[in-house]
Structure 1
Amino acid sequence: MAHRHGSFAFAAAVATLALLTAAAAQAPGGARTRADCEREYTPRRGQEGKDVVWAPTEDSMLVRMLEMANVRSDDKLYDLGSGDGKIPIAAAKLFGATAVGIEYERELVEHARCLAAAERVDDRVTFVQGDLFEADFSDATVVTLYLLPEINVKLRPRLLAMKPGTRVVAYSFAMGDWEPDETLDSFGDGSAFYWLVPANARGRWTFWPTSAGEVFDLDLDQRYQMLHGTAANGASVSGRLRGDRLELAFAENGARALVAGTVEPERIVATVTRGATTAEYIGTRR
């Protein structure tokens, strides 16, 4: 698990967010401004919601979270429990992403829609009033959340069922015993946790060389992104997944064999390195 401390090179993004927010306070013509939205409704820190109390994410931290997830213009981001909509709005404004916020409290949804219009990103940002345990976010490439630990754990099976490589970032609270792939400690602003949804590599695999080489078998067990198991020769196998990317190592004939590849639904396309020799293999699940 990687750790990051202190600051990213994110000052420009935070400054841009502040400038754009200031610009939204003076919308042209008859367009609504942030001030209009805040006169109509202002959420109160600590106000009760269905599953959590509302608390805003600090601007500096939300930029870090979006950078941590490597958000791009071709991403579709879902923010679960989106509150006032800060994260989806920032994802669209700063990174050009399409974003969806899911929020149970109707007043917060209407407020977030107003702010998205004031920030002129309502063409790329949608806010949905609904229960995040019932909402469909299966087409997300990025999921963000600022929820309580027990809510994160309750959502964990749905997150793990998403497409391998989906990026998940949580603010303040982790995901139970699913260790993050990366942790950001930002003193004063809290912590953020990052996961890549792992592929399913569990099972008994036979690896066939695409040209010269010997067939070998691996029996793999999986706990989240971590892999362990046994080779046909009885040697222990250990490794990990980063999305659909797999890395394994085991002892073979007194040397170390390394397997690196991509996990597909029923096969692994891999390069196997033994000393100075590499060979291409296809692994099939038995």
Structure 2
Amino acid sequence: MDLPVLVGVDGSEESLRAVDWAAEEAALRGAPLRLVHASLWERYEGSLIAQEVGKPVEEVMGQDIMDTAERRAHRHHPGLRLTTSVLPDEPSFGLVRESSTARLLVVGCRGRNAVTELLLGSVSLSVAARAHCPVIVLRGEPGNTAAGPVPGRVVLGVAGKDAGPAAVRFAAEEAALRGVPLEAVRAWRRPAHGTTGHPLLAGGPAQAHEQEAAETLEEALRDLPEGLEQRRRTAEGHARDVLVDASRDAGLLVVGARRRSGRFGLQLGRVAHGVLHHAACPVAVVPETG
């Protein structure tokens, strides 16, 4: 089955940037593009418009949005296979449901006001925490994502030794498709109560933690494809802060999110949650099952 690249469109400038990015991702993969507009607004607020144009309520503004997004996608990639859907549904619920038959989902995010402009919108956060496929959330300045993926390196945040391989595979695929290096980063932290009394023992615990971080990188990346340019780096500090710092000159930041069967609510983890709110570049959240 040729799974599509899925993009959520709500008519905003941010969602049209997401269309640009998703169209490029689909073209790179030779995959179809699926544009989805999910909203309950027209059902309750657009009845008068529906009567005037003679269309079902849920299709009035939604179809106009879809037509605009479709023209935009074909402007950059005329031969792209493309389908559209207008769903009378709550946006995050509709996109999560659609993600079960997609290879990738792309969403934009909007700052809500001058104080909280760095924070993630509720729809983007909910989708990233529940989707069945990898989700790319377009963080960063508009100029960084105006016409699809930018030519910066792909940064992969490597979790602990029990981390799943899905995020590694996705990051490697993205780097290979774009022809950019993959930088894998593992953060480590100095013990809070390390031995500092004897000068020969000072730094011992810290060195052990740094060595463990390096070994974790080696283990996580052992199956990377040959020929992929890669860099491996350990860094002392909180994982969220290390990855946010690395995102400042990156094209994409990739993190995994463990999905636990039988659990409800947002399944992101603290690191993924933190970088989604504060990263300076787009963030890919890749679900890891188990």
What TM-score comes out, normalization by structure 1 length? 0.33
Q: Which has the higher helix share?
A: 2
Structure 1 or 2: more strand by fraction: 1
The structure showing larger relative contact order (alpha-carbon pairs under 8 Å, at least 6 residues apart) is 2
